[in-house]
Structure formats: structure tokens, C-alpha cells
Amino acid sequence: MSRSVKSVLVGLAILLTTSFVLAAPPDAVAKKRIAIMNFDFGTVQQWWSGNWDIGKGISDMLVTKLVKDGTYSLVERKILDQILAEQNFSNSDRANPLTAAKIGKVLGVNAIIVGSITQFGFDDKNFKLGGGGGSWGGFGLGSIGKRSMKAMVAIDARMVDTSTAEILAVAQGQGESKRGGFSLGGAGGGGGGWGAGGIDMGSSNFQDTILGEATRSAVDGVAGELISNSGKIETTKIVINGLVADVDGANAIINIGRDNGVKVGDVYQVERVTRTVKDPATGKVLRQVTSVVATIRITEVQTSSASGVTTGPAKVGDVIKSISPGN
């Protein structure tokens, strides 16, 4: 099956099981929910050796910054990685607003953040690391040169509406270390490691370096602009409709999952059809009258199903619905 056909089928499945009500009142919705893709760094000249993914590192730093701020609700990294693996989009596709919007719909988010790293290094263009690696404190000045340098980082980000693929806002961040040094660690380095492997950009070892200082400043700049532009995201209320597929005591499995916007921790009403009203002339079902018999709190989510704990006697075939505001 081609990628385009798979995308259409995924979209149809979402539309059949999930309805979207735009401009819902503030008390009817949670925080605006976003996901942050790994930043592209293909235009940055790779002066380091090994498999250091600075795009993922900066994305993780931005997630941490926004979670601490509290303006947005963010998708967990492991969920995002799983969706990306399932959708099988290439790295170049993921940076495209249209593709990003498709991924965002699968994740059930209001907007998705994509971006690129345009600068990541030092103001000395002749700077070279030399060999295959070393440690922050054990490199030897001969492999770098004795001129002092400053670290410089620049990031561009775009906020993409998942309903329209429109770019709602752009954010930029630039960082420059306030101190110079002969090494990644400043005047002589100290602690941590670099070179043949990757670096944990959230660690204190990296944060304490001149490159870490510049990166943090750039991330703070992007985060600030994304926060200030939160009002440009049109609030979307996701209304869930599904059925109970299996019951084992207080545990139940429902026939909708991650593709429909279901998340761990969500609470839904369990309703039972008590009366069916039909057109006496045609026999067509006009409406089904239901009553609430329980709620279900989701504890595990898969692509097309989820499981949770109920507060009452649920049965196979019972209806799963979002809890209305005020209930």
C-alpha cells in the first residue's frame, strides 16, 4: 500500500470516530496540546564526530522548558517516537508543514512545532577538533588551537496548525556564550565527554559548557516566542465516541485508541442504550436514548484500542463518550 493511500485511510479513520468542535469555551477544553518534532540540522557543518543528534537534543530541551512553563500540554517523547515509526515518514517529510499536520492529527494535538538549527558551533571558523574525540578535560590544546572562541547557536521554529497545515507563527532563538574559551568547556573544560558518542544535552556537564550556555539561550528565545504566540492556536475540543469491546471485572477494553485522540489518564463516560426511537413510517433509527452507568479512566493506550478501570458495571457494547463540560 502506498504512503499516500495509508495517510488517507488514517485520516478517514480519525474522521469517522472523532469530531472536532472549534472555538470551544475555555472551561470546555484543557490546555492547548502540542507536539515538538526533532529539529533539522542538515545545514549545519558537522564539526563533531560520532552520532550526536543535536536536533533531538534541542527538541528535548524545548519540551522541558515548555512543560515547566505550563502554557501548553505536550505529547510524551515515547508516544511521538512510536507514531513516527508507525507512519514511516522520512526526516525530510517530517519537516514539511503538510506532513507535520498529518502527524499532528494522529497525535490529537492542536499544533505541531517543526524547526531547524541554522548555527551550532563557534565564532572561530578555523576551529577544528582534530582526532576522533576526547573528554571535556583531557583533550590537549594542540588539537584545537590556542585562540579563544565563543559558542554560537541559532534556531528557527514554526508552529503548524494540524487542521489546516497553516503556519501560525514563527519563532527564532539566538544564543552566544557570555564567556570565551579554548574548549567546549570554557577555559580548559572539565567534566563530561564528547567525540565518538552522543552527548546528553540536558546534563549539567553540557549545560556548564560555553556551547551549552549558547544552546540554552537560543532555546529560551524560541520557547518565549512560542509561549507569546499561544493565542494563535485555535482551541479544538476533541469529542470521543467509541464502544466497550471487552470487560473483565472493573477492567474494560474500548475500540478506540491513540489514532482517535485517546490518552492515558483520560476519563470518559460509559453510557448504555436504554431505548431506541425509530421512524414509524420507515423504521429508520431516529435516536438512541442512553443513561450513564459508569466512567472509565484510561490506563493503557494502543493504536486502535485502549484499556482502563471503570467505576461501575460496564458491558460489551456500552457507548464511550467524552465527559461534557460541567459533568
Give 258-275 pLDDT, tens digit per residue: 878 788 888 999 999 899
- The 3-state DSSP class for residue 7 equals helix
User: Residue 97's domain is classified under what CATH number?
Assistant: 3.40.50.10610
Name the domain boundary from 180, 203, 232: 232
Question: Is 19 domain-assigned?
Answer: no
Tell me: do 198 and 250 sit in the same domain.
Answer: no
Q: What is the mean pLDDT of the chain?
A: 77
Question: Is 6 domain-assigned?
Answer: no
Q: Per-residue pLDDT tens for 36-51?
A: 999 999 889 888 777 8
Question: How many domains does the chain contain in total?
Answer: 2
The count of C-alpha atoms lying within 13 angstroms of the C-alpha of 290, restricted to the half-sphere facing its C-beta, is 15
List % helix, strand, coil for the chain (3-state, nearest 5): 30, 35, 40
Tell me: do 37 and 67 sit in the same domain.
Answer: yes
What's the distance, Cα to Cα, between the start and end of the chain in Å? 43
Contact 46, 121 (CB under 8 A): no
Question: Could you tell me the pLDDT band of residue 131, with boundaries at 50, 70 and 90?
Answer: very low
Contact 174, 160 (CB under 8 A): no
Tell me: do 99 and 178 sit in the same domain.
Answer: yes
Domain that holds residue 106: 30-232
